[in-house]
């Protein structure tokens, strides 16, 4: 099983070049979390993504969630026909939506060395600069304009759509642009985190996070995807395919 063994200290060494402040993985994220949620009744404070402390949030999400998702899809017991990775050795293009500093994108490139692997992130942020640094080292690319993404075989999205105020319309737009054959999505609507919303704008009006999550899954099905049953815990990531 392929792993990516970068340590937190190694990551901080990389980020020092980009003027990252003095933070460590035990830093208290409560002030940044409160700053985000207190802004929602007025106007979302997207400046939290540029705060130095956000690097800690990204690291924690990597260690606790996205890294485990990517390691689990390599297990041969995933599906009756083997691992999700083994079942997709033929694919040529992968897009990692909202890749943060690029840790997930590095692992995807290691798992699928034959693929063009693209990470997406916000232009002009420190996290994107760091991701571009890792991209040079490990052979993937960073795209800051989702409208220019290519037709894609597989899309990976770990805690991405929760950061979008209109996730259903955003999903439809991305599907129209990339026309992916398969999706690996680990949504966490309803969880409390920096950048998550309590209510979302949807085609059915403003909905709470839990209802939005159900509508999101129904929309994926309406777009022509079938949920492939796996033995992954809590179906994370959920595996969708147009190719049966």
Mean pLDDT, each 10-residue run in order, the chain (244 residues): 67 72 75 97 94 86 89 87 91 97 92 96 90 92 96 97 98 98 95 96 97 97 95 88 81
Q: Which pLDDT does position 20 carry in this prediction?
A: 65
Structure tokens at 44: 């979302």
Q: What is residue 58's three-state secondary structure?
A: helix
* pLDDT score, position 12: 72
What pLDDT score does 19 carry? 67
In this prediction, residue 205 carries a pLDDT of: 97
Q: Which two tokens stand for residue 242?
A: 């147009």
pLDDT at 222: 97
* CATH architecture for segment(s) 8-241: 3-Layer(aba) Sandwich (3.40)
Long-range pairs for 80-86 at CB < 8 Å and ≥24 separation? 84/184, 84/230, 84/239, 85/111, 85/112
Cα 237 to Cα 26, 65, 106, 117, 131: the distances in Å are 27, 10, 18, 18, 22
């Amino acid at each position: 099983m392929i792993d990516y063994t970068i340590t937190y200290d190694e990551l901080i060494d990389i980020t020092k070049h980009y003027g990252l402040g003095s933070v460590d993985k035990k830093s208290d994220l409560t002030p940044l979390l409160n700053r985000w949620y207190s802004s929602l009744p007025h106007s979302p404070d997207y400046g939290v993504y540029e705060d130095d402390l956000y690097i800690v949030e990204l690291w924690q999400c990597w260690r606790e969630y996205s890294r485990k998702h990517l390691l689990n899809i390599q297990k041969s017991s995933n599906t009756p026909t083997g691992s999700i990775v083994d079942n997709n050795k033929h694919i040529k293009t992968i897009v990692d939506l909202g890749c943060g500093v690029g840790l997930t994108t590095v692992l995807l490139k290691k798992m699928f060395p034959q693929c063009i692997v693209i990470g997406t992130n916000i232009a002009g942020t420190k996290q994107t600069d760091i991701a571009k640094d890792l991209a040079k080292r490990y052979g993937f690319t960073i795209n800051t304009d989702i409208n220019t993404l290519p037709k894609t075989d597989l899309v990976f999205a770990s805690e991405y759509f929760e950061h979008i105020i209109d996730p259903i319309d955003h999903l439809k737009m991305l599907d129209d642009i990339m026309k992916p054959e398969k999706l690996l999505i680990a949504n966490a609507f309803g969880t409390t985190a920096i950048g998550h919303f309590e209510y979302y704008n949807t085609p059915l009006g403003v909905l709470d996070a839990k209802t939005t999550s159900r509508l999101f899954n129904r929309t994926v099905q309406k777009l022509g995807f079938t949920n492939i049953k796996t033995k992954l815990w809590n179906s994370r990531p959920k595996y969708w395919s147009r190719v049966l």
